[in-house]
Amino acid sequence: MKNVSLYFQIHHPFHHQIFRFFDIGESKSYYDDLRIEREIQDAVINCYLPTNDFLLKLIHKYDGNLKVSFNISDTAIDQFLMYKPEIFNSFRKLADTGQVDFTGSTASNSIVSLADSKNEFINSIKVSQKRTEYYFGQKPTLFVNSDLLFNNQIAHIAAKSGYPAILTNGIKRILNWRSPNYLYCSEGQQQIKILFRNEKLSNELSAILDNANQIEAMKQLGQFFLNLEMIPPDEPILNIFLNYRLLGGKNRIKKQQLFRSFVTEFFNRESYCFNLPRHIIEQYAPISEIGTDEPISWTEGFHSSYYPGNELQKDAIRQLYKLTHKLETTNNTNLKMDWRYLQSSDHFHLMDENHPDYHSNSSESAIFKSKYDAYINYMNILASFKKRLDAENQKVSHQPVRRLKHQQFHEI
Amino acid sequence: MNVLMFGWEFPPNISGGLGTACYGIVKGLSEYQDIHVRFVVPKSHGNELSANNLQLISADQISIGRETQLIHRLSNVSFFEVESKLTPYLTPEIYSETLQKSNKKEEITSTTSKGTRIKFSGKYGPNLFDEIANYAIVAKTIAVENDFELIHAHDWLTFPAAVAAKKISGKPLILHVHSTDFDRSGGAINPKIFAIEKQGLDEADKIIVVSNRIKSRLTEQYFIPSDKIVTIYNGIETQVNTEEKLKHRTDKEQIVTFLGRITIQKGPEYFVDVARMVIQRMKNVHFVMAGNGELRNQILELSVKYGISDRFHFTGFLNGPEVTEMLRRSDLFIMPSVSEPFGIVPLEAMQANVPVIISLQSGVSELIQNVVKTDFWDVHAMADAVHGILKHKRLSKVMVEEGKQEVSKLNWTQPAHQIKQVYQNLLLNKAS
């Protein structure tokens, strides 16, 4: 029996707006609120709400055989709360079927796992754990780090924070000759299991769902199943990690039809079933230990040299975490919230010359023209943040006012 | 194959980027044993740089008049015999001054036993149009006296000569456009120059441009079909002496440099604006305008008005070694050009280990990645980049390292190869 585990990722970052050095120390917001709201409204209305309904019907139709997991980033949760809170009902309905898992991550899709301070990382995991439980009614059992970042240290901390399993990207650098289609456990820490995203199948299915040409997509789907057959029969676990937006958007109906064909075809084959990670880790025993000290990761849409990163990324990350100790003394919720958002990995992706923003001409939303622009902008924001932090720490009452809405959510 | 090439200047006797580019092209082509270039300039000074398979022809050494028997056969050749003292880089004020100075007309021909020779200055002087027309007369003689399969000419000054050579020889004509009058004048074009450009471009069999920016300029403003145009980006001579960057007197003082003619095309007023904004916020930053031009006094007045004259400096015109020294002392180079057909100076700055900011309105911005690009009018973005690069040592270090690596690949080998392809395709088309 082959267990296919489908993961849908939902992530919306808090995009920064253009922040000039003249703005350092001024009360200008760091965030491009218009763009953030536009994107989240569009995603929820045109994708998440209708697709959740579609998925719910499909789950009922197959009577408990269709199972999927959701990995919803912490910043996406924030944005749902701010702009479209009704989406939670929709996700709760899915959760109530018992066929849907919600995985845990870090607060604000952050790169905190790379920071020196382990406490910060643990706190970040705890925040995400608590919030996932609060909003979706499930205690997460699988840890999906931002960008699927993984190394031995990260596995260790995930285990310490109460996770029995972690998902990461099945790339050659860690697997070598081994197959991603097994359950592994971490080197020297057998209590934490490791699941690998099957890179090939995930990319193929993404391409199929993204193909606007229906006929061609159906052909590709046929090929996809042929490829599935090629996998040796004793490899039991296939983790397919997809962006949830692939099931919605402009050609929603067509995409849903395509997904339905995928599911129908899937159930026509006897040797396959859908499964959830929380069941997989109970049903299977790890086949061997595996581990790496060099972080591995995955970024959607481009191959990033992000970890350990280029000079600019390294510098920005170092400058960011230099401020850690200054945060310890403050209780200002505005500052804490900005601090969390500053750690989102998306800002650092933009400091990579391979970022799609710098290659496709069609990207209207791209506000930076090069990684240098992105770095300069981020460093300006960081400088401004540091100024506020210093002022706060000197007990000078100088606090730019931010949306009050945010604060309430973060106090949960 | 033999190529008859028309230029206006040749290193080291240059006043702009055109001569440097011509030299790079000729040198790149000289790598091919089967290409022989005859390069024609109005006046040679005898000290020109040399290359393999290159023969330099000086138009003022050519005797005309012996081939008159040919001229009547080609009555459809027309020349631009314009009696004018207008030049492309002059404003009306300066023009009237020069007019008063040069009332005495010089003798332009000298007759010897071998025939009549025309004198050329080879500069961009007040009787430029006369020289262009005369150049075309001599070009005919050269075209008759030499064997060649192709004509290749650089920029509008040589277009009439090249067209004349084409008419008399019937050989295919390639025009190489390094800039158009729209770029040089900031939009206020000289109709006479436009006419010369348009006529030449219409006659050409193939047009090489230095950027897609110029390509769209030619299709939109000169109505040239785009399939006649091919973009070949300029290269840059590989710098041999890569000595370490000179440390300043004190580490604290930082220098931001503008290098080029102080004319409307180069966007100097944006540079002052940027300087004003940065100086308000940062200490120990100095802005230097290296170069000269008709807007210099206006820019000076602006800097005084903004109260930044203590940190805003002018160097006047710099020669080759002085440019190198200026770049070596710079911490940042900005080219805020309003319209730059290509722009070789940013590449020189990158070679000299200087981080670079360029406007998106430059041809070179299509080619290079490891620089900061902004719109020329977006002085806020530019000032922000200046601040960012000066403030974050790591950023400037990365830009210098990656920029240097990038620019080291941009030699003349690739452009020369592409030019050779154009030659071959054109000859094949002619033959079939």
pLDDT at B74: 31
Query: Hey, are the CB atoms on A370 and B391 less than 8 Å from each other?
Result: no
Looking at the DSSP assignment, which residues form a beta bridge with residue A8?
Answer: A70, A242
Query: Hey, are the CB atoms on A370 and B371 less than 8 Å from each other?
Result: yes
Which one-letter amino acid corresponds to residue A23?
Answer: D
Checking if the pLDDT of B10 tops 50, the result is yes
Contact residues on chain B for A23, CB-CB shorter than 8 A: none
Which one-letter amino acid corresponds to residue A10?
Answer: I
Asked if residue A231 lies in contact with residue A238, where contact means CB atoms within 8 angstroms, the answer is yes
pLDDT at B71: 34
For residues A373 and A16, give the distance between their C-alpha atoms in angstroms, rounded to a whole number.
12
Among chain A residues, CA nearest to B279: A22
HSE at residue B386, side-chain half, CA atoms within 13 A, is 35
Checking if the pLDDT of B72 tops 50, the result is no
Asked if residue A39 lies in contact with residue A83, where contact means CB atoms within 8 angstroms, the answer is no
Query: Hey, are the CB atoms on B395 and A376 less than 8 Å from each other?
Result: yes
Mean pLDDT, rounded, for A198-202: 91
For residues A196 and B259, give the distance between their C-alpha atoms in angstroms, rounded to a whole number.
55
- Confidence tier at B86 by pLDDT (50, 70, 90): very low
Following CA atoms A60, A63, A66, A69 in sequence, which dihedral angle do they give, to the nearest 10 degrees? 70
Among A19-23, B175-179, B286-290, which stretch is predicted with the lowest mean pLDDT? A19-23
Picking from A17, A18, A21 by the largest number of B CB atoms within 10 A of its own CB, the best residue to mutate is: A21
**DSSP structure string for B182-224:** HHHHTT---HHHHHHHHHHHHH-SEEEESSHHHHHHHHHHS--
Mean pLDDT, rounded, for B392-419: 92
Query: Hey, are the CB atoms on A22 and B277 less than 8 Å from each other?
Result: yes
Checking if the pLDDT of B114 tops 80, the result is no
pLDDT at B245: 52
pLDDT at A304: 60
Picking from A359, A368, A372, A386 by the largest number of B CB atoms within 10 A of its own CB, the best residue to mutate is: A372
Chain mean pLDDT for chain A: 88
CA–CA min distance B355, chain A (Å): 11
Residue written as token pair 């699927």 = A148
CA–CA min distance A22, chain B (Å): 8
Three state DSSP letters for A123-152: HHHHHHHHHHHHHHCCCCCEEECHHHCECH
For residues B366 and B348, give the distance between their C-alpha atoms in angstroms, rounded to a whole number.
16
- Confidence tier at B67 by pLDDT (50, 70, 90): very low
Mean pLDDT, rounded, for A167-195: 90
Asked if residue A251 lies in contact with residue A212, where contact means CB atoms within 8 angstroms, the answer is yes
What ipTM is given for this predicted complex?
0.72
CA–CA min distance B403, chain A (Å): 12
Can you read off the two tokens belonging to residue A382?
């960081």
Following CA atoms A310, A316, A317, A321 in sequence, which dihedral angle do they give, to the nearest 10 degrees? 160
Checking if the pLDDT of B235 tops 80, the result is yes
- H/E element, A10: strand A2-10
Residue written as token pair 């905190």 = A112
Nearest Cβ partner of B369 from A315, A370, A380? Answer: A370
CA–CA min distance B360, chain A (Å): 10
For residues B360 and B371, give the distance between their C-alpha atoms in angstroms, rounded to a whole number.
11
Tens digits of per-residue pLDDT, A121-170?
A: 999 999 999 999 999 998 999 999 998 999 899 999 999 999 999 999 98
A95 CB-near residues (< 8 Å, 6+ apart): A102, A136, A137, A138
Contact residues on chain B for A353, CB-CB shorter than 8 A: 369
pLDDT at B85: 41
Residues of chain B with CATH 3.40.50.2000: 2-235+412-431, 254-408
CA–CA min distance B323, chain A (Å): 26
pLDDT at B252: 74
Q: How many residues does chain B have?
A: 432
Nearest Cβ partner of B372 from A21, A372, A379? Answer: A372
Checking if the pLDDT of B14 tops 80, the result is no
- Confidence tier at B77 by pLDDT (50, 70, 90): very low
Contact residues on chain B for A372, CB-CB shorter than 8 A: 371-372, 385, 388-389, 395, 399
Contact residues on chain B for A312, CB-CB shorter than 8 A: 394-395, 398
A10 CB-near residues (< 8 Å, 6+ apart): A48, A70, A71, A72, A73, A76, A244, A245
Cis omega before residue B12 (within 30°)? Answer: yes
Checking if the pLDDT of A27 tops 60, the result is yes
Can you read off the two tokens belonging to residue B331?
């911490």
Contact residues on chain A for B388, CB-CB shorter than 8 A: 21, 372, 375-376, 379-380
Nearest Cβ partner of A379 from B374, B381, B392? Answer: B392
Nearest Cβ partner of B388 from A22, A310, A379? Answer: A379
A383 CB-near residues (< 8 Å, 6+ apart): A21, A24
Mean pLDDT, rounded, for B390-402: 92
Can you read off the two tokens belonging to residue A323?
């401020």
Mean pLDDT, rounded, for B244-269: 78
Contact residues on chain B for A369, CB-CB shorter than 8 A: 360, 372-374
Q: How many residues does chain A have?
A: 412
For residues A196 and A183, give the distance between their C-alpha atoms in angstroms, rounded to a whole number.
8
Contact residues on chain A for B373, CB-CB shorter than 8 A: 369-370
Among chain A residues, CA nearest to B355: A372
Mean pLDDT, rounded, for A87-96: 93
Tens digits of per-residue pLDDT, B159-170?
A: 999 999 999 888
Among chain B residues, CA nearest to A370: B372
pLDDT at B399: 93
pLDDT at A299: 80
Looking at the DSSP assignment, which residues form a beta bridge with residue A2?
Answer: A272
Query: Hey, are the CB atoms on A376 and B399 less than 8 Å from each other?
Result: no
Among A5-14, A144-153, A279-288, A364-373, which stretch is predicted with the lowest mean pLDDT? A364-373
**The domain B2-235+412-431: what is its CATH number?**
3.40.50.2000
Measured CB to CB, residues of chain B less than 8 Å from chain A are: 277, 281, 360, 369, 371-374, 380-381, 383-385, 387-389, 391-392, 394-395, 397-399
The b/e string for B217-256 (b: 16+ C-beta within 10 A; e otherwise) is bbeeebebeeeebbbbbbbbbeeeeeeeeeeeeeeeebbb
* Strand boundaries in B11-121, DSSP class E: 36-41, 54-58, 63-64, 109-112, 115-118
Chain mean pLDDT for chain B: 82
For residues A81 and A101, give the distance between their C-alpha atoms in angstroms, rounded to a whole number.
20
Checking if the pLDDT of A104 tops 60, the result is yes
Identify the architecture of domain B254-408 in CATH. 3-Layer(aba) Sandwich (3.40)
CA–CA min distance A12, chain B (Å): 26
Contact residues on chain A for B212, CB-CB shorter than 8 A: none
Checking if the pLDDT of B116 tops 70, the result is no
Nearest Cβ partner of A20 from B380, B389, B394? Answer: B380
Nearest Cβ partner of A21 from B360, B388, B397? Answer: B388
In order of A7, B10, B40, B47, B122, the CA distances from B44 in angstroms are 74, 8, 9, 8, 8
For residues A151 and A50, give the distance between their C-alpha atoms in angstroms, rounded to a whole number.
37
**CA-based angle B88:B89:B94, to the nearest 5?**
110
Nearest Cβ partner of A312 from B373, B380, B395? Answer: B395
pLDDT at B145: 82
Query: Hey, are the CB atoms on B371 and A380 less than 8 Å from each other?
Result: no
CA–CA min distance B398, chain A (Å): 7
Can you read off the two tokens belonging to residue A248?
């919605």
Contact residues on chain A for B374, CB-CB shorter than 8 A: 369
Question: Which domains occur in chain A, in start order?
Answer: 2-290 (3.20.110.20), 311-410 (no CATH)
Among chain B residues, CA nearest to A359: B369
Among chain A residues, CA nearest to B375: A369
**Cβ contacts from A onto B, under 8 A:** 64
Nearest Cβ partner of B394 from A311, A358, A380? Answer: A311
Query: Hey, are the CB atoms on A315 and B395 less than 8 Å from each other?
Result: yes
CA–CA min distance A324, chain B (Å): 20
Checking if the pLDDT of A215 tops 50, the result is yes
Checking if the pLDDT of A381 tops 90, the result is yes
Residue written as token pair 């057959």 = A229
Can you read off the two tokens belonging to residue A210?
């993204």
Among chain A residues, CA nearest to B381: A20
Asked if residue B407 lies in contact with residue B364, where contact means CB atoms within 8 angstroms, the answer is no
Mean pLDDT, rounded, for B353-375: 93
Contact residues on chain A for B360, CB-CB shorter than 8 A: 369
Contact residues on chain A for B380, CB-CB shorter than 8 A: 20, 22
Query: Hey, are the CB atoms on A380 and B383 less than 8 Å from each other?
Result: no
Query: Hey, are the CB atoms on B394 and A372 less than 8 Å from each other?
Result: no
Tens digits of per-residue pLDDT, B287-342?
A: 999 988 889 889 988 998 998 988 898 888 888 788 888 998 899 999 999 989 99
Q: In whole angstroms, how large is the CA radius of gyration of chain A? A: 21
CA–CA min distance B331, chain A (Å): 16
Measured CB to CB, residues of chain A less than 8 Å from chain B are: 18, 20-22, 310-312, 315, 353, 358, 369-370, 372-373, 375-377, 379-380
Asked if residue A316 lies in contact with residue A378, where contact means CB atoms within 8 angstroms, the answer is yes
Mean pLDDT, rounded, for A112-117: 84
Nearest Cβ partner of A376 from B360, B380, B385? Answer: B385
pLDDT at B110: 58
Among candidate residues B1, B6, B2, B21, the one with its CA nearest the CA of residue B152: B6
For residues A79 and A44, give the distance between their C-alpha atoms in angstroms, rounded to a whole number.
10
For residues B223 and B218, give the distance between their C-alpha atoms in angstroms, rounded to a whole number.
6
- H/E element, B256: strand B254-259
Tens digits of per-residue pLDDT, A270-294?
A: 888 999 999 999 999 999 999 888 8
